[in-house]
A and B are shown apart, each in its own frame.
Chain A
Amino acid sequence: MADQVESLVEHGNIWFPDAAGSMATKVDFLYSVTMWVSVVIFVAMFLVGLYFVIKYKRSAINQKAESHVTDNVRLELAWSFIPFVLLMILFAWSFRDYLDLVIAPPDAQEIKVVAKKWLWEVEYPELNMKALNEIVVPVSTPIKLTMTATDVLHSLFIPNFRVKRDIIPNRYSTLWFEAIKPGVFQLFCTEFCGDGHSEMIGIVRVLSEPDYQEWLLAGSEDESIPLDELGKKLYVSKACNTCHSIDGTDMVGPTWKGLFNSDRNLQSGEVVTADDNYIRESIVYPQVKLVSGYQPVMPAYAGLLSDRDIDGIIAYIKTLK
Chain B
Amino acid sequence: MGDHSNSNVSFYKASSGIKSWLYTLDHKRIGLMYLGLILLGFLVGGLMATLLRFELLSPEKLLLTAKQYNQVFTLHGAVMVFLFVIPSIPAAFGNFLLPLQIGAKDVAFPRLNLLSLYIYFLGALMMVAAIFMGSVDTGWTFYTPYSISSDTSVVMTVLGAFVLGFSSILTGVNFIATIHKMRAPGMTWFKMPLFCWSLYATAIIQVLATPVLAITLLLLALERLIGVGIFDPALGGDPVLFEHFFWFYSHPAVYIMILPAMGVMNELVTTFCKKNIFGYRLIAYSSIAIAAISFVVWGHHLFVSGQSYFANMLFSLITFLVAIPSAIKVFNWLATMYKGSISITAPFLYFLWFLFMFSVGGFTGVVLGSLSLDVHLHDTYYVVAHFHYVMMGGVVMAFLGALHYWWPKMTGKLYNEPMAKFAAVLIFIGFNWVFFVQFLMGSKGMPRRYYTYLDQFQPYHIISTIGSWVLLAAFLLVAYIFIRSLRKGEPAPNNPWGGLTLEWHISSPPTLENFEKIPVIKHDPYDYERMPIP
- By a beta-carbon cutoff of 8 Å, the part of chain A in contact with chain B is 7-10, 12, 14-17, 23, 26-27, 30-31, 34-35, 38, 41-42, 45-46, 48-49, 52-53, 56-58, 63-72, 75-76, 79-80, 83-84, 87-88, 90-91, 93-95, 97-99, 101-102, 151-153, 155, 157, 159-160, 162-166, 168-171, 173, 186, 188-199, 201, 251-252, 295
Residues of A within 8 A of B321 (CB): 87
Residues of B within 8 A of A170 (CB): 233-234
Tell me if B444 and A16 are in contact (CB < 8 A): yes
A88 to chain B, nearest CB (A): 7
A74 to chain B, nearest CB (A): 12
Tell me if B376 and A27 are in contact (CB < 8 A): yes
A76 to chain B, nearest CB (A): 6
Tell me if A15 and B274 are in contact (CB < 8 A): no
A17, A34, A80, A198: most-surrounded residue (chain B CB, <10 A): A198
Q: Which residue on chain A has the smallest CB distance to residue B320?
A: A87
Residue in A15, A42, A63, A252 whose CB lies within 8 Å of B341: A63
User: Is the CB of B445 closer than 8 A to any CB of chain A?
Assistant: yes
Known: A79-B331, A94-B316, A192-B139. A65 touches B340 (CB 8 A): yes
Interface 1/0 per residue, B294-319 and A, CB below 8 Å: 00000000001110010011001100
Residues of B within 8 A of A191 (CB): 143, 379
Residues of A within 8 A of B233 (CB): 168-171
Tell me if B339 and A87 are in contact (CB < 8 A): no
Known: A79-B331, A191-B379. A53 touches B451 (CB 8 A): no
Tell me if A164 and B327 are in contact (CB < 8 A): no
Tell me if B367 and A35 are in contact (CB < 8 A): yes
Residues of B within 8 A of A70 (CB): 276-280
Q: Which residue on chain B has the smallest CB distance to residue A199?
A: B452
Q: Which residue on chain A has the smallest CB distance to residue B240?
A: A168
B139, B317, B372: most-surrounded residue (chain A CB, <10 A): B372
Known: A30-B370, A64-B341, A169-B233. A163 touches B375 (CB 8 A): yes
Residue in B342, B356, B459 whose CB lies within 8 Å of A57: B342
Known: A46-B356, A153-B143. A56 touches B328 (CB 8 A): no
Interface 1/0 per residue, B230-266 and A, CB below 8 Å: 0001100001100000000000000000000000000
User: Is the CB of B12 closer than 8 A to any CB of chain A?
Assistant: no
Q: How far is the CA of A68 from the CA of B456 in the complex (A)?
A: 55
Tell me if A34 and B373 are in contact (CB < 8 A): yes
User: Is the CB of B520 closer than 8 A to any CB of chain A?
Assistant: no
User: Is the CB of B6 closer than 8 A to any CB of chain A?
Assistant: no
A192 to chain B, nearest CB (A): 5
B297 to chain A, nearest CB (A): 13
Residues of B within 8 A of A56 (CB): 273, 337-342
Tell me if B239 and A8 are in contact (CB < 8 A): no
Kindly state the interface size class of chain B when it binds its partner. 35 or more
B495 to chain A, nearest CB (A): 13
Residues of A within 8 A of B501 (CB): none
Residue in A53, A194, A197 whose CB lies within 8 Å of B352: A53
Known: A34-B366, A194-B150. A27 touches B372 (CB 8 A): yes
**Majority SS of interface residues in chain B?**
helix
B375 to chain A, nearest CB (A): 5
Residues of B within 8 A of A155 (CB): 304, 379
Residues of B within 8 A of A34 (CB): 366-367, 370, 373
Tell me if A65 and B275 are in contact (CB < 8 A): yes
Residues of A within 8 A of B479 (CB): none
Residue in B146, B274, B375 whose CB lies within 8 Å of A162: B375
Tell me if A68 and B146 are in contact (CB < 8 A): no
Which residues of B in the span 108-148 have a Cβ within 8 Å of any Cβ on A? 137-139, 143, 145-146
Tell me if B277 and A79 are in contact (CB < 8 A): no
Interface 1/0 per residue, B412-446 and A, CB below 8 Å: 00000000000000000000000000001001110
Q: How far is the CA of A63 from the CA of B341 in the complex (A)?
A: 6
Q: Which residue on chain A has the smallest CB distance to residue B452?
A: A198
Residues of A within 8 A of B367 (CB): 31, 34-35, 38
Residues of A within 8 A of B278 (CB): 69-72
Q: How far is the CA of A138 from the CA of B330 in the complex (A)?
A: 50
Q: How far is the CA of A12 from the CA of B440 in the complex (A)?
A: 12
Tell me if A169 and B234 are in contact (CB < 8 A): yes
Q: Which residue on chain A has the smallest CB distance to residue B380?
A: A190
User: Is the CB of B529 closer than 8 A to any CB of chain A?
Assistant: yes
User: Is the CB of B449 closer than 8 A to any CB of chain A?
Assistant: yes
User: Is the CB of B491 closer than 8 A to any CB of chain A?
Assistant: no
Q: How far is the CA of A183 from the CA of B433 in the complex (A)?
A: 34
Q: How far is the CA of A233 from the CA of B317 in the complex (A)?
A: 49
Q: How far is the CA of A162 from the CA of B139 in the complex (A)?
A: 25
B463 to chain A, nearest CB (A): 13
Known: A98-B372, A153-B145. A164 touches B378 (CB 8 A): yes
User: Is the CB of B483 closer than 8 A to any CB of chain A?
Assistant: no
Interface 1/0 per residue, B442-485 and A, CB below 8 Å: 01110111111110110100000000000000000000000000
Tell me if A164 and B376 are in contact (CB < 8 A): yes
Residue in A65, A71, A76, A88 whose CB lies within 8 Å of B320: A88
Q: Which residue on chain B has the smallest CB distance to residue A170?
A: B233
Known: A56-B341, A195-B67. A91 touches B306 (CB 8 A): no
Which residues of B in the span 273-293 have a Cβ within 8 Å of any Cβ on A? 273-280, 282
Q: Which residue on chain B has the smallest CB distance to residue A162?
A: B376
Interface 1/0 per residue, B370-390 and A, CB below 8 Å: 111101101110000000000
Q: How far is the CA of A165 from the CA of B306 in the complex (A)?
A: 7
Residue in A64, A91, A197 whose CB lies within 8 Å of B451: A197
Q: How far is the CA of A45 from the CA of B328 in the complex (A)?
A: 13
Residues of B within 8 A of A58 (CB): 274, 341-343
Q: How far is the CA of A168 from the CA of B279 in the complex (A)?
A: 48
User: Is the CB of B70 closer than 8 A to any CB of chain A?
Assistant: yes
User: Is the CB of B63 closer than 8 A to any CB of chain A?
Assistant: no
Residue in B328, B355, B445 whose CB lies within 8 Å of A159: B445
A196 to chain B, nearest CB (A): 7
Interface 1/0 per residue, B320-337 and A, CB below 8 Å: 110110011011101101
Tell me if B335 and A75 are in contact (CB < 8 A): yes
Residue in B305, B312, B444 whose CB lies within 8 Å of A17: B444
Tell me if A68 and B276 are in contact (CB < 8 A): yes
Tell me if B372 and A101 are in contact (CB < 8 A): yes
Q: How far is the CA of A30 from the CA of B454 in the complex (A)?
A: 28
Question: Can you list the 8 inter-chain pairs with the closest CB atoms, starting with the nearest?
Answer: A159-B445, A94-B370, A98-B371, A97-B372, A198-B450, A67-B339, A66-B339, A190-B379
User: Is the CB of B21 closer than 8 A to any CB of chain A?
Assistant: no
Tell me if A171 and B277 are in contact (CB < 8 A): no
User: Is the CB of B344 closer than 8 A to any CB of chain A?
Assistant: yes
Known: A31-B367, A94-B372. A198 touches B451 (CB 8 A): yes
Tell me if B440 and A169 are in contact (CB < 8 A): no
User: Is the CB of B66 closer than 8 A to any CB of chain A?
Assistant: yes
Cβ contacts A to B, 30 pairs, < 8 Å: A9-B456, A14-B440, A16-B376, A30-B372, A48-B334, A53-B342, A56-B273, A65-B528, A67-B338, A68-B528, A69-B278, A75-B335, A79-B331, A80-B324, A87-B366, A88-B320, A94-B372, A152-B145, A153-B145, A155-B379, A157-B379, A159-B444, A165-B304, A173-B306, A188-B445, A190-B378, A191-B143, A194-B150, A198-B447, A198-B451
